[in-house]
Structure 1
Amino acid sequence: MAPAIMTLAADAPKLDSGSTAFMLISAALVMVMTPGLAFFYGGMVRVKSALNMLMMSFISLGIITVLWTLYGFSFAFGSGNGFMGGTHWFGMRHIGIGELWPGYGIPVYVFAVFQLMFAIITPALISGALADRVKFTAWSLFITLWATVVYFPVAHWVWASDGWLFKKGVIDFAGGTAVHINAGAAALGVILVIGKRKGFKRDPMRPHNLPLVMLGCGLLWFGWFGFNAGSWLGSDGVAAVAFTNTQVATAAAMLGWLIYERLRHGSFTTLGAASGAVSGLVAVTPACGSISPLGAILLGLVTGVICAAAVGLKYRFNYDDSLDVVGVHMVGGIVGSLSIGFLATGGVGQTAKGVFYGGGWHQLGLQFIGVGAVLGYSLVCAVVLAKLIDLVMGFRVTEDEEITGVDQVLHAETAYDFAGVGGARSAADPAATSSEAGASPVKKVDA
């Protein structure tokens, strides 16, 4: 008996300080992605909605962090059934300070905080489809309900050891289904309920600050290395391949988008470069631990072209996906998830091989199951939740409030203060008089 006990003790996982440090840094990198997303989206909207767009991402940092602590982590990764975790970790209880995540040399707390950052950015991604027209209180309630009903269970399906998609063999290295298809489908569901912006397809709705868009894209690109490489939960060769594939696919997708844009519209735009890069980041997310760098080039080029074409579908089918969440995140997530069925080498983080490497069609079929299950569930739930919120409290602002601008109406602020720029106004100017008197020309209403 004694030798057996000694053997078990010797084989027990020990704290890996290097991997723990790597994972804490990766968690911080993923956290930076949410402010990066806020800047990316904030620069793409009109000036009267810039602050609201920033706030729709930042509020997710607050709401989802609290939900994750109360019950989200337990629902997503606690022991339960194939569809939902249990309640053992409610309130982050029953987690020892030195307790390690099963099979890895990192503390449970480190894994929990890393996954928290994924939970934060996923509902924030949805916000880009709803620019200019929704109440802040309605949005806050929606992400509370959606995270509870959709994100936490889907994360369990895809990544928990007893999740039904995980056990079936669906591969999602870092969030093609659980994050991007999930958010993109939800965005489509909500915009089908709330409708189009006033002036859609009629008024110009150009980005007000492209340098801000490029800054946001750069922060997303930077943080995505933690998003993807960190998902291996250790610092070794697989994490290095995931890191490399992230860079390669993103670069190739940016080139693919720009080539399509030049051939179709005659210009290489900064918005196209940023959007192309993000589409590549999205597509490589599920596949970065399964494909080679050459496969990442092919994936990136194909994704850039497909997503560039997909963003124009909103005009053909008349749905107002304000900042192309459906075209980039849902479509990019689908392309990346299905690419595993073709490009998986079987020699990186998983043993499954795709069609191009002699693995047959089995893995591709599994990937279709994962894509379809998450897309359908998120879409239906988003429609139901958005409709309920719309019936109870109204999801979008009034037409007058939308025309005035949601920054002033909902937040009583503007992104840029031009009061000290240019010549002084005439004393006879009513706007100047009311401004100097401290009166706001816009009545603040319920958010």
Structure 2
Amino acid sequence: MAQAITLAADAPTLSAANTGFMLICSALVLIMTPGLAFFYGGMVRVKSTLNMLMMSFISMGIVTILWVLYGFSLAFGTDSGSIIGWSSDYVGLSGIGITQLWDGYTIPIYVFAVFQLMFAIITPALISGALADRVKFTSWALFVALWATVVYFPVAHWVWGAGGWAFELGVIDFAGGTAVHINAGAAALGVILVIGKRVGFKKDPMRPHSLPLVMLGAGLLWFGWFGFNAGSWLGNDDGVGALMFINTQIATAAAMLAWLAYEKIRHGAFTTLGAASGAVAGLVAITPSGGAVSPLGAIAVGVVAGVLCAMAVGLKYKFGYDDSLDVVGVHLVGGVVGSLLIGFLATGGGQSDVAGLFYGGGLDQFWKQCAGVFAVLAYSLVASAVLAFLIDKTIGMRVSEDEEVAGIDQAEHAETAYDFSGAGGGSAFSSASPAPAKDASAKKVDA
């Protein structure tokens, strides 16, 4: 009886502070998806702006429903073979009490579920940046649903689910270096190898149409990322969340400066696109590592990621794959950098007592990180390519060449982002008038 009394006293109880903190963090992570939409939307040509916005926004709808129906159960249900989870109580979120706590924590299961939902939403949205200008919206929506089911939910279980093989191996991924960024970056590469290049790739100018939108999107991403990273500790009773918060800021600043320095040396200018891209590279790299490294380590993570990602965005021209908005160069490379550097820079005084090579821990953790990184990369690359191939051979992945040249916004959404013809806007044509062959304003701006 005395033992039972002790166990009851030690059992976690609901914390209003941690619950409120996690709800705020969930909202911060959600704002990252519209931020990503603006970031990508500003980087494309004007005739593709709305399509890029919609490719992110549709993920908010599709993934939310799938997560409620079965996604949360697959990712965080009872483990089966270290590969996938399943709990009938989580199907439809129907068997969960409103005050029932997430395992070992002081927040309700509903709070944990909605926080993780926001991660599930943004991950497929990240892929869309590689596919700008050329993918049917219906095909993209189908791909999001299939990819979340076949790739994201299982990988989330591997990395974060109790019993998942990467979790049990000891792979450190604080907030999504493998499950989110490497996963999305490898998927992007797999899909673009299947669907091919944009019309005019390496021939026609494909400059961003609105750098202010890019900067706005990057700012929203930076802001929301504090919830993404610090919230992943599910509370801040021991200071680890605070460590992750400050390391997020430090690494992002360092990466932005490093990217700009590289850009100035290599190309002779400090660009706004470089500043935005460098900041995102730093955010990506610190995501897996920020709970394990010191603030000085965060500077190192940021500098390495900033330089290597800046170098990596040019690989598409060397190898001939059309990664439209550098998802591979920033998210895949940044995720790999941040994940592997844990093996060198982990102090043993943050989220765990695991130390990296530079802190006397040897290379044991580095090899564990390699296992997690390359398993997720290979699985996502192959599975995503297969899904894209199947969709392409059935309903088709790409719009026609004429529609791509004329503008995917007009072809897929019957709208243009900017109406220069007068007051009002929205639809490019009304029910009272026939649709023009091509939006003249879009043609003018593109020219």
Aligned to 1:438: 433
Question: Counterpart in 1 of 2:339?
Answer: 337
Cα offset, 1:439, TM superposition = 2.2
CA distance in 1, matches of 2:240, 2:68: 30
Q: Which residue of 1 aligns with 2:35?
A: 36
- 2:259 pairs, out of 237, 257, 270, with 257
Could you tell me whether the CA contact under 8 Å between 1:343 and 1:354 is conserved in 2? yes
Which string of whole-angstrom CA distances, capped at 9 and with x for unpartnered residues, describes residues 20-69 of structure 1? 11100000000000000000000000000000000000000000000000
- The whole-number CA distance in structure 2 between the counterparts of 1:4 and 1:357 is 40
Find the counterpart in structure 2 of residue 48 from structure 1.
47
Identity of aligned residues (%): 72
Query: Residue 180 of structure 1 contacts residue 330 of structure 1 at CA under 8 Å; is this kept in 2?
Result: yes
Letter in 2 for 1:411: H
Q: How does 1:25-174 map to 2 (within 5 A)?
A: 25-81=24-80, 82-88=82-88, 89-174=90-175
Q: Look up the equivalent residue of 2:401 and give its one-letter code.
A: E
Partner amino acid for 2:370?
F
Change (3 A) 1:45 1:359: same
> Which whole-Å deviations, capped at 9, do the CAs of 1:81-131 have from their partners, x for residues lacking one?
210001421111211111101111000000000000000000000000000
Partner of 1:375: 377
- What is the CA-CA distance between 1:5 and the residue it aligns to? 2.8
Kindly provide the CA deviation profile for residues 402-445 of structure 1, in whole angstroms up to 9, marking residues without a partner as x. 00100000000000000128xxxxxxxxxx9x99973221389x
Instruction: Calculate the TM-score normalised by the size of structure 2.
Output: 0.95
CA distance in 1, matches of 2:154, 2:55: 23
Tell me the secondary structure at the aligned position of residue 324 of structure 2. Answer: coil
Point out 4+ residue stretches in structure 1 off by more than 4 angstroms.
Answer: 434-437
- Where 1:150 maps in the other structure, the secondary structure is helix
Cα distance in 1 for residues equivalent to 2:173 and 2:6: 34
Q: Which residue of 1 aligns with 2:221?
A: 220
Aligned to 2:13, the other structure's residue is in SS state: coil
Aligned partner of 1:303 among 302, 305, 323: 305
| Separation in 1, partners of 2:430, 2:171 | 59
Contact 1:181 1:329 in 2 (8 A): yes
Query: When the two structures are aligned, how many residues end up with a matched partner?
Result: 432
State the match for 1:355 in structure 2: 357
Of the three residues 248, 257, 260, the one matched with 1:246 is 248
Hey, what's the Cα distance between the residues in 2 that align with 1:333 and 1:5? Answer: 45
Distance between the aligned counterparts of 2:438 and 2:380, measured in 1? 36
- TM superposition shift of 1:314: 0.1
Which stretch shifts more, 223-232 or 93-102?
93-102
Distance 1:355 1:79 in 2: 34
Matches within 5 A, 1:152-301: 152-236=153-237, 237-301=239-303
Q: Secondary structure at the match of 1:80?
A: strand
Structure 1 394/443 Cα, relative in aligned 2: closer, same or farther at 3 Å?
Answer: farther
Post-superposition Cα deviations, 1:138-193, rounded to whole Å, max 9, x if no partner, equal 00000100000000000000001111100001000000000000000000000000
User: Per the alignment, do residues 252 and 362 of structure 1 end up closer, same or farther by CA in structure 2, a change over 3 Å counting?
Assistant: same
Q: 1:318 aligns with which of 297, 317, 320?
A: 320
**Partner residue of 1:426?**
none
**CA distance in 1: counterparts of 2:58 and 2:40, whole angstroms:** 14
Matched, 1:6 2:5: yes
Corresponding letter in the other structure for 1:395: M
The amino acid that maps onto 1:382 is S
- Distance in 2, Cα, partners of 1:8 & 1:227: 32
Indicate if the aligned counterparts of 2:406 and 2:438 stay in contact, CA closer than 8 A: no
Distance 1:21 1:312 in 2: 43
Separation in 2, partners of 1:66, 1:443: 35
Q: Distance in 2 between matches of 1:299 and 1:143?
A: 31
2-side partners of 1:218 and 1:443: how far apart? 34
Q: Deviations over 1:235-275 (max 9, x none)?
A: 24110100000000000000000000000000000000000
Distance 2:101 2:157 in 1: 19
CA distance in 1, matches of 2:38, 2:292: 31
Structure 2 distance, partners of 1:211, 1:171, is 36
Preserved contact between residue 18 and residue 235 of structure 1 (Cα < 8 Å) = no
Q: Which residue of 1 aligns with 2:411?
A: 409
Deviation of 1:7 (Å): 1.9
Matched to 2:337, the amino acid is V
2-structure distance, mates of 1:121, 1:437: 38
Superposition deviation, residue 11 in structure 1: 1.4
Report the Cα distance in structure 2 between the residues aligned to 1:4 and 1:366, rounded to whole angstroms. Answer: 38
Deviation of 1:4 (Å): 2.9
Distance in 2 separating the partners of 1:147 and 1:376: 16
Query: Matched residue of 2:78: which SS?
Result: coil
The CA distance in 1 between the partners of 2:190 and 2:355, in whole Å, is 34
Structure 2 residue identity aligned to 1:165:
A
Tell me how far apart the structure 2 counterparts of residues 125 and 141 of structure 1 sit (CA, whole Å): 16
Q: Contact between 1:39 and 1:54, CA under 8 Å: does it hold in 2?
A: yes
Asked whether the 8 Å contact 2:143–2:387 carries over to 1, the reply is yes
The structural deviation recorded for 1:351 is: 1.2
Distance 1:272 1:14 in 2: 46
CA distance in 2, matches of 1:347, 1:6: 32
Give, in whole Å, the separation in 1 of the partners of 2:352 and 2:283: 20
Task: Give the counterpart letter for 1:248 in structure 2.
Answer: I
CA distance in 1, matches of 2:22, 2:156: 19
For 1:251 and 1:9, the matched residues in 2 are separated by: 45
2:444 aligns to what? none
Aligned residues: CA RMSD: 1.5
